[in-house]
Amino acid sequence: MLSDEPVLEVRNVTRKFGGLTAVNDLSFSVRRNSIHGLIGPNGAGKTTTFSLISGYYKPTSGKILYEGQDISGLKTSRLARRGLIRTFQGTTLFQEFSVLDNVRVGCHRSAGASFISRIVGSDAPVERGAERKAREILELFDLEALADEPTSSLPHGHQRALGMAVALAADPVVILLDEPFTGMNPEETRRMMDHVRRVRSERAITIMLVEHDMQAVMGLCERITVMNFGQRLTEGTPDEVCNDPRVIEAYLGQADDAA
């Protein structure tokens, strides 16, 4: 696999819902091992784009390539097995499980074990491997000291970090994060940004994120694609994007609408 081949490529993708065009002839590509942002005012089509990439929706037209192969229309579960993983805002953690057990369950998801064997841990060597791997992942997120705590006892920021730890347990190639910093205080945001950077550098994965917190987006991403009205408005480095009058205008337009 050539390392300069984009890991993900959206080619002229359109998605309509009845008479409404949520995504309109959108094209962009994501470089392997990069942190790539997708921003734009409310209703621009960002979440729909994530849903198209991750297999929740099929494109009305256009193509999505993952590792050079056309994946348009493939189901979420198949894409997840191939390493394309999307996380959701209210991550589905097992609140009554310990922190460690949540990540262990995530490890078995990648191994393709049945749900019951994930819970009861019927295969001892596999189980020890999963536990070791789960503990390593917890360390990446500074959660190792909380491994045996019930998940329900964790504060919001830690729960969000754990959600990402669980996603990482499934050995992703690309993680799609939809608004990972929503509801976090500045300290939680700063720590989560560190985690995202660490995950990218230590695991050589690609991270794509939709986020409203501009400081976080600008601080994390190497490239940013800006959407407006379902289309690509522009793309560039954080500096290029923030100084682009069209981007400023698109966001100001939103402020006017809200007023």
Ligand X SMILES: Nc1ncnc2c1ncn2[C@@H]1O[C@H](COP(=O)(O)OP(=O)(O)O)[C@@H](O)[C@H]1O
Task: Show the tokens assigned to 54.
Answer: 């991750």
Distance CA 209, CA 197 (A): 12
**Closest CB 38 distance from ligand X, rounded Å:** 8
Q: Where do runs of H (alpha helix) occur along the chain?
A: 46-53, 76-81, 99-111, 115-120, 124-140, 156-169, 186-203, 214-220, 238-242, 245-258
Binding mask 14-43 for ligand X (x = CB under 6 A): ---x--x-x-----------------x-xx
**Closest CB 215 distance from ligand X, rounded Å:** 19
* 44 makes contact with ligand X (CB under 6 A): yes
Q: Which does 69 bind (CB under 5 to 8 A by kind): ligand X, Mg ion, none?
A: none
* 47 makes contact with ligand X (CB under 6 A): yes
Q: Which is nearer to ligand X, 168 or 209 (CB)?
A: 209
**Closest CB 160 distance from Mg ion, rounded Å:** 17
**Closest CB 78 distance from Mg ion, rounded Å:** 24
**Closest CB 179 distance from Mg ion, rounded Å:** 7
* 77 makes contact with ligand X (CB under 6 A): no
Long-range contacts of 72-77 (CB under 8 A, 24+ apart): 72/13
Helix (H) or strand (E) holding 179, with range, is none
Q: Which is nearer to ligand X, 86 or 195 (CB)?
A: 86
Task: Please give the distance of CA 16 from its chain centroid, rounded to a whole number.
Answer: 23
* 208 makes contact with ligand X (CB under 6 A): no
Among 46, 109, 195, 232, binds ligand X (CB under 6 A): 46
The candidate with the shortest Cα–Cα distance to 163, out of 95, 111, 210, 219, is: 95
In this structure, the chain runs to a length of: 259
Footprint of Mg ion on this chain (CB under 5 A)? Answer: 46-47
